[in-house]
Chain A
Amino acid sequence: MQQFFSMLFLIGLLFLLSILTGLLPFATPPMLIGQAIQQQAVDATGAANLVTSVVLGYRGIDTLGELSILFAASAAGGLVLGKTVRAKKAASENTGFILQAGTDLLFPLLLVAGLYIVLHGHLTPGGGFQGGVLLATAFFLPVLVRPGTSVSHKLLIVIEGLAGASFIAIGLLALYQGGEFLQPFLDKGLTGQLLSAGTLPLLYLAVGLKVGAELAGLLANLSTEQDGENDHVA
């Protein structure tokens, strides 16, 4: 009976989706506010990437909410997984030459790519969230390859706290300058240059560091195995 109802629900959902998508021409969504933003955004914020100008300029407080959601998720993950885990020092599994050499090669490349994506968030596609995840992956790879090594949680906490605090501090500074909360201030500069778009690159740097530190901590929590836990479950 339950299966029948879930089948019915699925068919209804499919019907609804097909009607919704059947009416729209592909890849051209009905834009209402997009036109206005497309015309003004470059002059208003100085960012060449319109998505960034929306994410941090027009909808900065939404981004702050997103950050707090991510923080809550990672805190809950840490609460469930990280009950004073002590990483097994003795567990030095040999993970193989290919994985180790590949990680050593990939680590600097991932680091450069992540920093590039974070710092060029206002010029090219990408930004704090994507670059931050890349950075977290880069710092997590050595842990994956050498199971004995542990990540310094204290350092991650300090980075995360400082980044989050600086995001809010920049928003409050805008308030102090006479604008709205999180309104971009500073000099807009020449659109397309690395040092342009006022405070947007700074905000994205804070987002990148915060996301990276949070996810690195979460991954480190997940990867540390507890003694004897495997025997209970398997």
Chain B
Amino acid sequence: MEQFFVFLLVIMMLLGGLAAMLLKDLLAATAATSVVSLSLTAIFVLMRAPDVAMTEAVVGAGLSALILALGLRRLGIWQLDMPVKSRQKKAGDQ
């Protein structure tokens, strides 16, 4: 049973990583990296390492996504009230 869950989580991580590479929308790619970290958190819990899982959840899923999103905002690719279309266009221009 545990093996099955781990298999599922690894597949989710792979899909998240692929999405982060292939997505044109950079904000969505940032969210995809969070998905990778979140699945990794669950794997750490299954491996009975709650301390590491906590760090991964806080730093990997929370803080790094926040820093990436802020970086996008600073570069002018993402603004708070920007529609999706123009975001993709700007990301394509970079």
Task: Tell me the A residues contacting B by CB distance below 8 Å.
Answer: 26-27, 49, 51, 81, 93, 95, 117, 125-127, 129-130, 133-134, 136-137, 140, 215, 218-219, 222-223, 225, 229-231, 233-234
Contacts and interface: CB of A to CB of B under 8 A. Distances in A.
Nearest to A50: B51
A26 B6 contact: yes
Interface string B33-74: 000000000000011101101110011001100110011011
A115 B16 CA distance: 32
B74 A130 contact: no
13 contacts: A26-B3, A26-B6, A27-B48, A49-B51, A51-B51, A117-B54, A129-B55, A130-B51, A133-B58, A133-B59, A229-B76, A233-B75, A234-B75
B54 A230 contact: no
B43 to A, nearest CB: 10
B76 A230 contact: yes
B80 A93 contact: yes
B47 A234 contact: no
Contacts, number: 61
Interface residues of B, number: 27
Interface of B: 3, 6, 46-48, 50-51, 53-55, 58-59, 62-63, 66-67, 70-71, 73-77, 80-81, 90, 93
Report which residue of B51, B66, B80, B93 has the largest number of chain A beta carbons within 10 angstroms of its beta carbon: B51
Contacts of B67: 218-219, 222
Contacts of B93: 234
B93 to A, nearest CB: 8
A234 B77 contact: yes
Contacts of A27: 46-48
Given A27-B48, A51-B51, A93-B81, A134 B75 contact: no
Question: Which 6 pairs from chain A and chain B are nearest by CB?
Answer: A125-B50, A234-B76, A230-B76, A222-B70, A51-B51, A133-B58
A225 B80 contact: no
A130 B76 contact: no
Given A137-B63, A222-B70, A222-B71, A234 B90 contact: yes
B51 to A, nearest CB: 5
Contact of B54 (A130, A137, A219, A225): A130
A190 B27 CA distance: 49
B80 A95 contact: yes
Nearest to A132: B58
B51 A133 contact: no
Contacts of B73: 223, 225
A26 B48 CA distance: 11
Given A93-B81, A215-B63, A233-B76, A125 B70 contact: no
B80 A125 contact: no
B71 A134 contact: no
Nearest to B67: A222
Contact of A222 (B6, B74, B77, B80): B74
